[in-house]
Amino acid sequence: MTRRFITVMLLACLGLLLGACHHVSVDSLVPPNLRPTEDPGKALDQAKKQLQAATPCCGSFADFSYETTLPWHPAKFELGSGSPVASLDNVHSYFLAFRLPQDAKLPYRIGFKSELSGRSLQSSYLFAPTAVLLDEAFQPIASHDITLCEYMGWSNASSGAFGGVSVDNDKARYLVVYSSAKQQTSDTYWEQSPAAFSADAPLKMNSAGSFKVPHGPNGTLWVGIMDKGYAKAVDNAICGKPPQGQGVLNTLRTALPEHWGGAGT
């Protein structure tokens, strides 16, 4: 009687487990780093179509609202579904508009960081910003397609594609950040690294080689007056593949003072 009872209970538990499996996604049982890579172009194509289908709210810089003051430190902004869309130079783009702080001492730098959009490097893209400085009449003083360069810090927060622009004109009153046609069709160099990331990290790195991350219409962008952390990232970021050297020994010979090398070296 006891054996029969135990058998019945085991069968009942097995039935419950099998039933539960029908409600659990197969993907949830597979670690993120072992799941198949997403289609590299699918998410980007969908984002482009969504942007093109959006109705622009603005067609000139004078139409924008400048109620938000540029943050004193880079702050996070999400550009995408639900964000306002502008039509500038016949190109649709999500945008941000800021009032520049008038008590900031000239010159100062504005820092940018764009985050990879996907969970793997091969399926990611970046929002590449264009920065336009305007005077009090909303007329452009300067326009810059920001060059993004890769910097890998000690954490996800200190890693990404960084760039910056200087403000040295005392007539500058406003800043508009959008993505020009050139930016949207370009890419950013990315040096792949063997660094290990957790399963929750937003990217999966390969152990060798290099990669070019395409630019897209939406994404996560950090914007604000550049602090020391951003200055370090911008000044030390990798913007492209370094030129081929002639070996460590040759580099040392040319870098060290002549009297260090001695005669006949």
Q: What pLDDT, on the 0 to 100 scale, is given for residue 264?
A: 46
Residue 151: its pLDDT value, please? 94
- Going by the DSSP 8-state scheme, the letter that residue 68 receives in this structure is S
Q: In angstroms, rounded to a whole number, what is the distance separating the alpha carbons of residues 64 and 9?
A: 68
As averages over each run of 10 residues, the pLDDT of the chain (265 residues) reads: 58 55 44 48 91 95 96 97 94 98 95 90 91 98 97 87 97 98 95 48 51 94 96 93 58 48 45
Q: In the chain, where are the structural domains located?
A: 37-241
Beta bridge partners of 144: 131
End-to-end CA distance of the chain: 93
239 neighbors 162 (Cβ within 8 angstroms): no
Tell whether the torsion through CA atoms of 68, 221, 202 and 35 is positive or negative.
positive
Q: Residue-wise over 117-136: b if at least 16 C-beta within 10 A, else e?
A: bbbbbebbbbbbbbbbbbee
At residue 86, the pLDDT reads: 97
